[in-house]
Amino acid sequence: MTQKKGNSSASSGRSGDALSREERLKAALKANMARRKAQGRARAGSQTSEAGPGADRPKDVE
């Protein structure tokens, strides 16, 4: 009987870890999506102004 209580508290500790991991992954995904959207906007803006000043210099490659 006491072992079951010990196991259930261990599993509830794991679910807490899983929740915090899920929250971290969720935050990381949100930040990644925001960064990619900003990157896409910057690329779209640079394509429209290609004929402008600095168009002859090579683009940065990442």
- Residue 10 neighbours by CB distance under 10 Å: 9
pLDDT of residue 22: 95
pLDDT of residue 42: 92
Query: What residue spans define the domains of the chain?
Result: 12-39
Point out the residues of the chain with pLDDT beneath 70.
1-14, 48-62
pLDDT of residue 10: 45
**Three-state secondary structure call for residue 54:** coil
Distance CA 13, CA 11 (A): 5
pLDDT > 90 in the chain, percent: 39
pLDDT of residue 50: 55
Distance CA 29, CA 16 (A): 20
In this structure, what token pair is assigned to residue 30? 């949100």
